[in-house]
Amino acid sequence: MATEKSELWQQVKERGIVPPRPFVSYTVKELQDLLGEPLAVPSEDFSEEDLATAREALAELEAEEWAELPQTAPLPAPTAPPVPQAPPAPARPAAPRPPLTQEQALHQLEAQVAAAARAKALHEGMGFDWKGIRVPVQDKGADRAGLTHAVPDGQPIRVDTSGRIWFRDEVPKPAVPRARMTRKNRYVDSGVKQEITYLPNGQIDDIYEVAGDQHKELTVTTTLPSWQVGHYRDPRFPFSVHAYNGESGFDFQEIVNYFGGLDLVPRSIKTLYVGNQLCYQISTARETIEAQYSALRRN
CB 185 within 8 A of CB 144: no
Q: Is the pTM of this model over 0.75?
A: no
Q: Which comes out higher in pLDDT, residue 80 or 147? A: 147
Q: Percent of the chain at pLDDT above 70?
A: 84
Count of helix runs (H) and strand runs (E) in the chain: 6, 13
Domain edges within the chain: 182-223, 237-299
Position 123: which residue type? H
Lowest mean pLDDT among 77-91, 200-214, 218-232: 77-91
Residues whose CB falls within 8 Å of the CB of residue 14, separated by 6 or more in sequence, listed in order: none
- Which of 186, 209, 180 has the alpha carbon at shortest distance from 197? 209
DSSP state of 163: S
d(CA 57, CA 51): 10
- Which of 153, 113, 116 has the alpha carbon at shortest distance from 135? 113
Question: What average pLDDT score do residues 206-220 get?
Answer: 88
For 17-162, where are the E strands, in sequence order? 127-130, 133-136, 158-159
Phi, psi of 174 (to 5 degrees): -65, 150
Length of the chain in residues, anyone?
A: 299
Q: Would you call 70 helix, strand, or coil by DSSP?
A: coil
CB 166 within 8 A of CB 157: yes
Lowest mean pLDDT among 25-29, 58-62, 190-194, 227-231: 58-62
Q: Cα 172–177–178 angle (5° rounding)?
A: 80
> According to the model, what pLDDT value does residue 172 have?
93
Partners of 299 in beta bridges: none
Residues whose CB falls within 8 Å of the CB of residue 265, separated by 6 or more in sequence, listed in order: 255, 256, 259, 280
DSSP state of 101: P
> According to the model, what pLDDT value does residue 58 have?
65
Q: Which comes out higher in pLDDT, residue 36 or 68? A: 36
> According to the model, what pLDDT value does residue 51 have?
67
